[in-house]
Structure 1
Amino acid sequence: MAAPVSVKDDQLTRLVALSPGSPGSGRVAGLVRRVCAQTLSLPPLPAEVAVDEPQSEAESVIAEFAEQFSADVSTITAEQRSRLFKVLGDGIFGVVVQMYIADFIPRVRAGLEALDVGAQYLSWTHAPVEWDHTTDPSDVVFNEFLPAVGSMRALDPVTSELVRLRGAAQHNCRLCKSVRESRALDAGGSETLYADIEDFEQSKLLDERAKAALRYADALIWTPSHLVADEVVEVRARFSEVEAVELTFDIMRNASNKVAVSLGGDAPRVSEGTETYLLDSDGQTVFS
């Protein structure tokens, strides 16, 4: 078995540097990065091509979809999806993956800066970008970044699962809601405990550490530009620095479900009940 991996210092930098297409032709990437950041009221990712406004009907369709992707992915309509497919054709998946990068890395930056942790992951915020025109963003996201996050083991599995299920509900990912991680179940997770996630502030089963993690997840999902000081202080008080970094990356990893939700590809694994899976030491999802 391969040795466990973890998120490397330069992995966000690599994601930021992805600018598919020939040099100078990155209008779509530039547009998506501006729209997502504007929707979140956060600083945008660097863009090789600065784009202020859509300059065609096709770009307007992409901008509308990106805005809804960032604001509330669960409300993207079939009509919006159809219009995007007509504009992008087979390229739709790659562009939506770019939306995920443009949408969530600014949230991670806001979280890590507010917590004052993980500065090594933010070198891209002050260094020149060496643009990558050849690498497929979906390959880096799904085959490198997400498994690397999944392999991190500082945070206990129950907290990771609570945060995952909260994100699943907030984004209304049917697939994510239909599965349960086995390490968390072995460590004390249960349907009784998970049922309290919806109204976690009133829960008598969830402890204050779990509630702090869930508040932080909600903040990154809904109000990343207005992180509440008390919530940040509570995370710092109840989690070590390495746990807080992992918690932040976990929220981003879970939010990759926005790609499937936005494209209508989030069908549940089972029609009734839930299915168990293992997030193995390599960060891979393994169903029995």
Structure 2
Amino acid sequence: MTSNLVSADIGLADHSIWRLPGQLCALRPDATQLLDRVNEHAWRTAEPALLELMRLRVACLIGNRAGEAARSPAARTGDLSEAKINDLPAYPTSTHFSPVERECLAFAEQFVMDVSGMTTAALDVLAHQLGRTELSDFVGALYAIEFTQRLQMVAQVLLAPVVEAAAAPAPTSAVADTAKSEPHLDLPMRKVLATYQDAVVRGQALDSVTTELVRLRCARTHRCRICQTLRLADAQAAGVDETMTAKIDFYERSDLPERFKVALRITDAFITRPDSLSETVAEQARSFFSSEQLAELCLDITKWSTQKINVALGTDGADRLPTNKAGVSFFGFDDAGRVAGFWAN
């Protein structure tokens, strides 16, 4: 079976399908510009018509009505007609779809709805269809089209009433230098994605306690083994202990401060149904967090949710981590936003 991953002309891609709210870009230009690069890479490395089908299916699953109505010119190739798009909900039986497309769409549905339910058999089938070496890039591209849409939807609700949309400032020298020195077209998706993750971590607006509770909520929802084992050292120093983290699973009924509950409500909406984020919760969020903190919270959720890639690929094992008697391992980040190491105490 030949690979479905090809090099596409990015000039055909419509950047509007991944354009983020202007207010978010103005608050965090470095991270949002690097996320643009992630999306550019995704559309260059994945077959565009197939990626468009998955983007549209993801939009439907998460309630992104604007995303469903949009179309990417990069995908207007071959037999990707409106009739085929309209038949997307019936893809398992529709004659419009090839066996490869059916397998990829089924994989995308599982990835979006319950990534922890991914099976080795499903991975093997997809690897056979796409090629084993291309599988990681494919899953990374799927992550990009899913979480860019989620970020678009949630950031618009949380930030629009607070910050006027503005043109994003020019990129910092670090971002500009990275763009010049790294021809990311030749890099695997994981490395392009890593530059975005590092930029998100470099944010300083949100406190470490909120950050850790949100990170663990993502990890437990996605059932990432390694991320559930880890604890942020900065959060531990700020008072987060196992008694506190045990409350995350039933936070609404817990005695956690309301500020943390609001952050967790946003997290739940973001990673499940972003269209369910109500204006009531948004107003609560604005009463507890500044616009800069809300922008960081949104980006943090996308960063922590890259764990879905490892869960899907079955590479989320925690066996090599040094752990204490409670089975916990601590970690931290350096000034560049990269993991600085793991330790048991």
Identity among equivalent pairs (%): 30
2:262, 2:45 → 1: CA distance? 42
Matched with 1:49 is 75
Asked if residue 96 in structure 1 is aligned to residue 139 in structure 2, the reply is yes
- Shift of the 120–167 alpha-carbon distance from structure 1 to 2, 3 Å rule, reads farther
Question: TM-score, with normalisation over the residues of structure 2?
Answer: 0.73
1:156, 1:55 → 2: CA distance? 47
Match of 1:168 among 219, 231, 235: 219
Residue identity opposite 1:17 in structure 2: E
Matched with 1:217 is 267
Question: TM-score, with normalisation over the residues of structure 1?
Answer: 0.86
**Residue 184 of structure 1: how far off its partner (Å):** 0.8
2:157, 2:232 → 1: CA distance? 29
Calculate the aligned-residue CA RMSD, in Å.
2.5
1:137, 1:29 → 2: CA distance? 15
2:32, 2:144 → 1: CA distance? 17
Structure number with higher relative contact order (C-alpha < 8 Å, ≥ 6 residues apart): 1
| Higher mean C-alpha displacement, 32-41 vs 256-265 | 32-41
Matched with 2:298 is 248
Matches within 5 A, 1:110-149: 110-117=153-160, 119=165, 136-142=188-194, 144-149=195-200
| Higher mean C-alpha displacement, 178-187 vs 28-37 | 28-37
Match of 2:316 among 252, 256, 266: 266
**Residue 135 of structure 1: how far off its partner (Å):** 5.7
Asked if residue 69 in structure 1 is aligned to residue 111 in structure 2, the reply is yes
- 8 Å Cα contact 2:213-2:248 kept in structure 1: yes
| Higher mean C-alpha displacement, 276-285 vs 103-112 | 276-285
**Residue 28 of structure 1: how far off its partner (Å):** 2.9
Matched with 1:60 is 102
Matched with 1:280 is 334
- Max Rg structure: 2
Matches within 5 A, 1:152-167: 152-167=203-218
Matched pairs, number: 272
Matches within 5 A, 1:6-45: 7-18=30-41, 19-21=43-45, 25-42=47-64, 43-44=66-67
Cα displacement string for residues 16-39 of structure 1 (whole angstroms, at most 9, x for unaligned residues): 3332249xx522322222222222
SS across alignment from 1:38: helix
In structure 1, the gaps of 5 or more residues are 123-131
Matched with 1:185 is 236
- Shift of the 179–121 alpha-carbon distance from structure 1 to 2, 3 Å rule, reads farther
1:110, 1:279 → 2: CA distance? 29
Residue identity opposite 2:190 in structure 1: S
2:106, 2:293 → 1: CA distance? 36
- 8 Å Cα contact 2:45-2:137 kept in structure 1: no
Residue identity opposite 1:173 in structure 2: C
**Residue 82 of structure 1: how far off its partner (Å):** 1.8
- 8 Å Cα contact 1:260-1:266 kept in structure 2: yes
**Residue 279 of structure 1: how far off its partner (Å):** 2.0
| Higher mean C-alpha displacement, 210-219 vs 261-270 | 261-270
- Shift of the 200–92 alpha-carbon distance from structure 1 to 2, 3 Å rule, reads same
1:287, 1:138 → 2: CA distance? 19
2:200, 2:53 → 1: CA distance? 27
- Shift of the 57–133 alpha-carbon distance from structure 1 to 2, 3 Å rule, reads farther
1:196, 1:209 → 2: CA distance? 14
